[in-house]
Homo-oligomer: A and B are copies of this chain.
Amino acid sequence: MTTGSTPSNSTGQYRKLLTHQPHPLKSLDQLAVILPCHRGQEICCQGNPANHWYCVISGAARRCVIRLDGRRQIIDLFLPGDVFGFSASEEYDYTVEAVAEGTVVASYPRRRVEMLADADPLLGREIRQVAFLALARLQAQLLILGRITALEKVGSFILEIATRMSSERGNSVALPMSRYDIADYLAVSVETVSRSLTYLKQRGVIKFSGTRIVRIVDRDALEEGERPAHAA
């Protein structure tokens, strides 16, 4: 749909991007429809039939739920290589939106993929593996939300992003989202996010080059009280 206005030239470039990018559903590249997204654009919407699975090619996407009181909660964050769109029912029970302008997403027709998986056990395993990764992501997020202080939440968040965007060299991380998004992701207020970042900066734990580019100076300090005991 969005691609309608895009010159085929450009679509071809996205196609190349998909081909060159390693991701978990490589074997389905030929089935993929490529979706370049604007900032905030809905990729799939709560209540709609869950007919597609998706994989982030570049950029970032957020999975959110809006509460009655108007508060938004971000349930999950998708970065390049992450697969999403799974649902236990026939409808999506969440909405996914592009976070950054120009986020590119590959979309796969669910039923066709499932039929392919019926014939190809290896593909079936791949899909399960991808679902297990989604489980691991949610588990990590639960651990972050379970932290006591906001400072720990923000610290873990930076480390998580740093790990998942490992393509970035060194200790510099480009935060893919605004402070507001981070707040809704960590279930704290924007002000608290900002204050925590300022505090970490003043203590010399992190440094900023631009508001959204963080350099981790003292990783141990960020990890403080963060690791589960077994990892010690």
Contact = CB atoms under 8 A, between A and B. Distances in A.
A139 interface: yes
B143 A146 contact: no
Contacts of A88: 129, 132-133, 135-136
A82 to B, nearest CB: 12
B125 A66 contact: no
A93 B139 contact: yes
A187 interface: yes
Contacts of A229: 66-68, 70
Nearest to A131: B131
Contacts of A132: 86-88, 131
Contacts of A148: 71, 187
Interface string A56-89: 0000000001111111010110000000001110
A1 interface: no
Given A66-B230, A145-B187, A230-B46, A75 B125 contact: no
A73 B66 CA distance: 26
A91 B193 CA distance: 34
Interface stretch (A33-41, A112-120, A213-221): A112-120
Contact of A142 (B46, B47, B66, B141): B141
Interface in A185-210: 187
B131 A68 contact: no
B135 A142 contact: no
A66 B232 CA distance: 11
